[in-house]
Amino acid sequence: MSVHPGRFAGRKAVVTGAAQGIGLAVARRLAAESADVVLVDRSETVLEEAAALGAAAVLADLETYEGAETAITGALERLDGRIDVLVNNVGGTIWAKPYEHYAPDEIEAEVRRSLFPTLWTTRAVLPHLIARRSGTVVNVSSIATRGIHRIPYSAAKGGVNALTASLAMEAAPYGIRIVAAAAGGTEAPPRRVARGPAPRDDREREWYRRIVDQTVDSTLLKRYGTVAEQAAAICFLASDEASYITGTVLPVGGGDPG
């Protein structure tokens, strides 16, 4: 997909969950559009990807507030003390099964994976953005807020949507925009770091297949999207072209509103 050279010239951006998938596609597009980018992930593969872009990287586990502080502090050090754009991309379903089959610790793990990194990293960067009275936070949500066999993940992404809408109201007086892109089913290269265990038997494979079928059936375009299509929407929301958009969750799911 076409990029817009110079769209982020002079801008400093941080992308979390940037070692692979949508996060890496966003980081690559921001760099191609002239942003100074820091990639954040807890996987060391982020170091290779950042080096390939000529960008900086920070290793941090964003499921903890300490990790989020490490990420933002490290990014500020690498970006000459300024962050203009934060893309909160950490998250993803760990298990795929009907809700009654989730153990309590699995439910907590899903929420820690897909809600808390966005809560923590936004909290860590907010004082900096308020002091500068500018900045944009783009949260990556999901149309799975209305879907089957990943209810804890759906609830976590619902929390991301609520955070986006409510924090936008608080942040607007400081010139800060808070927006989100709700990603639909997305075809991505094979993951170098797995989100969770592979299906163990035919029953678990059937549970996962039903997610895929429901996701496609719920779209108007009857297909999965691409990481490039997701990155294009996220980068639009992060850009000055979206300067009059805040508090909005943009579905990027082929017509599925989520």
Q: Which amino acid is at 14?
A: V
Q: Where are the domains of the chain?
A: 12-252
189 phi and psi, to 5 degrees?
A: -60, 160
Fold that domain 12-252 belongs to in CATH:
Rossmann fold (3.40.50)
**pLDDT (0 to 100) of residue 211:** 96
Going by C-alpha positions, the residue among 89, 112, 102 that lies closest to residue 186 is: 89
Sign of CA dihedral 169, 171, 177, 180: negative
From first to last of the 258 residues of the chain, give the pLDDT tens digit: 689 999 999 999 999 999 999 999 999 999 999 999 999 999 999 999 999 999 999 999 999 999 999 999 999 999 999 999 999 999 999 999 999 999 999 999 999 999 999 999 999 999 999 999 999 999 999 999 999 999 999 999 999 999 999 999 999 999 999 999 999 999 988 777 777 888 889 999 999 999 999 999 999 999 999 999 999 999 999 999 999 999 999 999 999 998
CA distance 203 to 195: 19
**pLDDT (0 to 100) of residue 210:** 96
Predicted TM-score (pTM) of the model is 0.96
**pLDDT (0 to 100) of residue 198:** 85
**pLDDT (0 to 100) of residue 54:** 96
CA distance 153 to 45: 25
**pLDDT (0 to 100) of residue 194:** 78
**pLDDT (0 to 100) of residue 2:** 82
DSSP-assigned letter for residue 87: E
**pLDDT (0 to 100) of residue 1:** 67
**pLDDT (0 to 100) of residue 197:** 86
Is 99 a residue of the active site?
no
Q: Which of 65, 99, 102, 153 is catalytic?
A: 153
